[in-house]
Amino acid sequence: MQGYQSEPVGELARQLQAGPMRLRKGYIDSAETLLEIIEPHLEYPYEFVVYRLTGYRSHRRGSTGPVSGHDLIPDLRRLILDTCDSFDLGISDYDEGVFDIPSLAGKFGVSIKTIQRWRKGGLVSRRMVFDNGKKRIAFLVSSIRTFAKRRRRLILRSARFTRLTKSERSDIIRQARRMVSRSKCCLMEVSKRLSIKTGRAPETIRYTIRNHDRRKPSEAIFGDHNAPLEGRDREVIYRCFLNGISVRSLAQRYGRTRGSIYRIVNEMRAGHLLERKIDYIYNPQFDLPGAAESILTEAPEDDPSVKSKLMRAPKGLPPYLASLYELPLMTSAKERWAFKKYNYLKFRADHLRKQLDVNHVRSSLLRQIERSLAQSEVVKNRIIRANLRLVVSIARKHLHGSQTLFELVSDGNVSLMRAVEKFDYSRGFKLSTYASWAIMKNFARSVPKERYRLDHFVTGTEEVMDFLGGLSGYDSHACSLSELRDSLEVVLAQLSARERSIVVGHFGFNSSGRTRTLEQISRQMGLSKERVRQIERRAMDKLRSMLQPISADLMR
DSSP three-state, residue 321: helix
- Number of domains present in the structure of the chain: 4
Claim to verify: residue 171 and residue 153 sit in the same structural domain: no
Q: Residue 156 has what pLDDT? A: 61
CATH number for 479? 1.10.10.10
Instruction: Work out the average pLDDT over 478-501.
Output: 64
The whole-model pTM stands at 0.50
Return the bridge partners of 138, or none.
100, 126
Distance in Å from the first CA to the final CA of the chain = 57
In whole angstroms, give the CA distance from residue 200 to residue 189.
Answer: 14
Claim to verify: residue 332 and residue 469 sit in the same structural domain: no
Question: How does residue 286 score in pLDDT terms, banded at 50, 70 and 90?
Answer: very high
Out of 255, 273, 291, a domain closes at 273
Which has the closest alpha carbon to 79: 159, 138, 1? Answer: 1
In whole angstroms, give the CA distance from residue 483 to residue 437.
Answer: 9
Angle (deg, nearest 10), helices 7-17 and 69-85:
20
51 vs 510, which has greater pLDDT? 51
- The DSSP code sequence of 69-124 is HHHHHHHHHHHHHHHHHTS--BGGGSSS-EEEHHHHHHHHT--HHHHHHHHHTT--
Bridging pattern class, strands 67-68 and 43-44: antiparallel
Claim to verify: residue 151 and residue 14 sit in the same structural domain: yes
In a domain, 247, yes or no: yes
Instruction: Work out the average pLDDT over 167-194.
Output: 83
Claim to verify: residue 204 and residue 140 sit in the same structural domain: no
Out of 158, 189, 213, a domain closes at 158
Claim to verify: residue 224 and residue 320 sit in the same structural domain: no
Q: Cα 421–425–427 angle (5° rounding)? A: 125
Which has the closest alpha carbon to 254: 272, 228, 280? Answer: 228
In a domain, 435, yes or no: no
158 vs 267, which has greater pLDDT? 267
Q: Cα 110–118–222 angle (5° rounding)? A: 85
Whole-Å CA distances, 118 to 70, 115, 150: 18, 5, 12
227 vs 82, which has greater pLDDT? 82
Residue 361 identity (one-letter amino acid): V
CB 332 within 8 A of CB 430: yes
In a domain, 436, yes or no: no
In a domain, 404, yes or no: no
Helices (H), 472-528: 481-492, 497-507, 518-525
Q: Max alpha carbon distance in the chain (Å)? A: 115
pLDDT tens sequence across 99-152: 999 998 888 777 788 888 889 888 999 999 998 888 999 999 999 989 888 877
Claim to verify: residue 258 and residue 307 sit in the same structural domain: no
Claim to verify: residue 65 and residue 193 sit in the same structural domain: no
In whole angstroms, give the CA distance from residue 224 to residue 228.
Answer: 9
In a domain, 440, yes or no: no
Which has the closest alpha carbon to 48: 32, 34, 27? Answer: 34
Q: Give the domain range for residue 84.
A: 7-158
Question: How does residue 81 score in pLDDT terms, banded at 50, 70 and 90?
Answer: very high
pLDDT tens sequence across 20-34: 888 999 999 999 999
In whole angstroms, give the CA distance from residue 79 to residue 11.
Answer: 10
Which has the closest alpha carbon to 489: 513, 471, 464, 472? Answer: 464
Instruction: Work out the average pLDDT over 484-504.
Output: 72
309 vs 153, which has greater pLDDT? 153
Does residue 489 carry a pLDDT above 80?
no
Q: Cα 149–45–85 angle (5° rounding)? A: 60
